[in-house]
Structure 1
Amino acid sequence: MFEFVRSWYQRKFTDPHSVTLLLLLLCAFAVLYFFGALLMPVLVAVVIAYLLDWPVVRLLNLGLSRTLATILVVSLFCSLVIGTLFGFGPILWQQTSNLLQEAPAMLEQGKHYLLHLPIDYPALITPEQVRTLVASVESKAVEFGQVLVSVSLTSLKDVVAWLIYLVLVPLLVFFMLKDKTQLLHSVSALLPAQRRLIQQVWLEMNQQIMNYIRGKVFEILIVGGVSFVVFTIFDLRYAALLGVLVGLSVLIPFIGAALVTIPVAAVALFQFGVSSEFWSVLVAYGIIQALDGNVLVPLLFSEAVDLNPVFIIMAVLFFGGLWGFWGVFFAIPLASLVRALANAWSSTLEDASATQAQE
């Protein structure tokens, strides 16, 4: 066993470039794990900067200076965000408030349907099973309500922090875009000379992260917008809120679509009952999810969809457990990073084997 470990270590880490890459990864992991909450504005700014770098580059190709292009792009982005918040925010707030007020009635109606299942299907389900299921659902609903209350109370303490972030993040984005070349040069100067594998992994991941962030934003807008239009056509209540939920559900691959099915089905059942309209809404929602998974995702994430769904779900669970929302958001790029690291160390092994063959 010791010989096997020693042989593996000699193959993988006798190259100083491999050791440098490993140390850099360990340092980055430790910083994000222990200081991720403090660095949250910086992480948000990095994501937005990746998103806005593409239009800045297009303006640079038209002959504008980087400063002017950055001012135009950041100003337009801030205007769109503010306009969306003030134009769409009140609608979402009102629909959310109405939905929370009607939630007890929806639960009672769901309980009514469950209690009638033993009468309609006596061979499939018993009254004891229904009572157990109803008790479980009621307890989960109470726990969820307590979580909402606790979150709302703790969020009041963070209002000042959010106000500071609203000022800091746009400033960070502006300077990251304007001084991109100088910042990259400064970071490169801090790295050691043995950085061939670091550069290899960076070149492979930089474009993937940029394409992923841009594609994920487009996916949220397209799926959310199409869902809102479809729900409006069916005259489904809370169409705007449900459209936003469906759009945000794409942040969690595979799992998000299953979770958001619950509120969509609950609202449709409460409004239409078990009728043709109810089934039409569910069929339309299923078609949207199918088109998203089989058409839109391959188009937007052609470099990442070759990852096996098992690895993607494992990445969501692992990185989401470590870093919460951002771990889930970057689950696919992080899984791609693991693959890029494996490729980099494999290339090191191949180079070493080639050197030994030449000798």
Structure 2
Amino acid sequence: MLDWLRKWYTNKFSDPQVVTLFLMLVLGFLALYWLSGMLAPVLVAIAFAYLLEWPVARLCRIGVSRTLSTALVVLAFMGLLTLILMWVMPLAWYQGRTLLRDLPQMIEIGRTYLLQLPELLPGMVSDEQILLLMHSVEERVMAFGRQMLSTSLASIVSLVALLVYLVLVPVMVFFMLKDKTQLSAGFVQFLPEERKLISQVWHEMNIQIMNYIRGKMLEILIVGGVSYLVFTLFGLNYALLLGILVGLSVLIPYIGAAVVTLPVALVGLFQWGFSAEFGYLMLAYGIIQALDGNVLVPLLFSEVVDLNPVYIIIAVLFFGGLFGFWGVFFAIPLASLVKATIKAWSTRMHPAEPENA
């Protein structure tokens, strides 16, 4: 057994570049795991910097200086983001308050539907099971209300930190874009001279992360906007709030779409009951999800998401458990990093045979 382990170690870690790449990945994961809370503004700035690098690069190509391009793009992005938030946030907040106000009435309607189940399904559902289920739901709703109250009180304390982030993040984004070359050169100085394998993995991941963040932002806007328009056309209550939830659900592949279906279905059910309007709503929602999964995602991420859905779900669960929200957001790039590392590692250990002339 020891001989086998020694041979495996010698075969896989005999190249110093492999050892360096492995140590860098381990140190990077440990740093994110232990310092993710402190580094949250930096991670936000990096995500925005990747998002805005494309328009900055396009302006530089037509002769605009890097500094001026960065200033124009950052100012335009912050202005657009401010306008969107000034319009969306008050409406979403109002609809959220309305939803909480209507929640007791919705619970009563749900209780009425549940009490009818023993008559509709005799022998399968009993009155005792329904009462136990309603008691459990009421307890969970009360616990959720208490949690929301404590969260709102705690948010007052974190308001100062939020204001600090609103100042720090744009400043960091500006300098990350403006001084991209200098920052990259400073980081490279810490790497060993023999870094061909690291450069190979980093070049592949740099392109994938940029495409992924840009594509994910576009997917959120498109799916959320289309969902809001469809819900508004149907006259669904809380259309904006539900549209935002549907848009944000694409951050969690597969799982998010399944989870956000529940509030959409419940609101439609409480508003119309088991009627034709409810059926048409769920059909339209299903079409949106189908177009997102089968048309939009392949179009936006054709060069990024080359992973089996099982691996993506495992990556979401694993990295989300390690790093929280940022682990979920970067689950696909992190899974792609693991795949690229294994590919480069295997190529290094087992180079392709040259073709015969």
TM-score (norm 1): 0.96
Deviations 1:58-100 (A, max 9, x none): 1111110001100110000000111111122111111111111
Alignment check: 8 A CA contact 2:33 2:322 kept? yes
1:168 matched to which residue of 2? Answer: 168
Alignment check: 8 A CA contact 1:42 1:169 kept? yes
Shift of 1:123: 4.3
1:357 matched to which residue of 2? Answer: none
Shift of 1:142: 2.2
| Runs of 5+ unmatched residues, structure 2 | none
1:337 aligns with 2:332: no
2:257 matched to which residue of 1? Answer: 257
How far apart, in 1, do the equivalents of 2:171 and 2:296 lie?
33
Report the residue type matching 2:198 in the other structure: I
1:90 matched to which residue of 2? Answer: 90
Equivalences for 1:68-217 in 2 at 5 Å? 68-217=68-217
Which one is further off, 265-274 or 34-43?
Answer: 265-274
2:49 matched to which residue of 1? Answer: 49
How far apart, in 2, do the equivalents of 1:23 and 1:305 lie?
26
Report the residue type matching 1:97 in the other structure: R
Deviations 1:197-218 (A, max 9, x none): 1111101111000000000000
2:18 matched to which residue of 1? Answer: 18
Alignment check: 8 A CA contact 1:20 1:194 kept? no
Alignment length (residue pairs):
354
1:232 matched to which residue of 2? Answer: 232
1:63 matched to which residue of 2? Answer: 63
Report the residue type matching 1:118 in the other structure: P
Question: What is the DSSP-based 3-state SS (H/G/I as helix, E as strand, rest coil) of the residue aligned with 1:337?
Answer: helix
1:348 aligns with 2:345: no
Deviations 1:240-297 (A, max 9, x none): 1110000000001111111111111111112112211111111111111111111111
How far apart, in 1, do the equivalents of 2:174 and 2:306 lie?
34
How far apart, in 2, do the equivalents of 1:307 and 1:113 lie?
42
Shift of 1:125: 2.4
Report the residue type matching 1:194 in the other structure: E
| Runs of 5+ unmatched residues, structure 1 | 355-359
1:301 matched to which residue of 2? Answer: 301
Question: What is the DSSP-based 3-state SS (H/G/I as helix, E as strand, rest coil) of the residue aligned with 1:37?
Answer: coil
How far apart, in 1, do the equivalents of 2:83 and 2:12 lie?
53
Shift of 1:140: 2.2
Question: What is the DSSP-based 3-state SS (H/G/I as helix, E as strand, rest coil) of the residue aligned with 2:324?
Answer: helix
2:278 matched to which residue of 1? Answer: 278
Alignment check: 8 A CA contact 1:12 1:348 kept? no
Over 3 Å counting, the alpha-carbon distance change for 1:2 and 1:150 in structure 2 is: farther
Report the residue type matching 1:151 in the other structure: T
Question: What is the DSSP-based 3-state SS (H/G/I as helix, E as strand, rest coil) of the residue aligned with 2:252?
Answer: coil
Shift of 1:149: 2.0
TM-score (norm 2): 0.96
Aligned Cα RMSD in Å?
Answer: 1.5
Alignment check: 8 A CA contact 2:118 2:127 kept? yes
How far apart, in 2, do the equivalents of 1:3 and 1:274 lie?
67
Deviations 1:307-336 (A, max 9, x none): 111111111111101111110011111111
How far apart, in 2, do the equivalents of 1:290 and 1:128 lie?
39
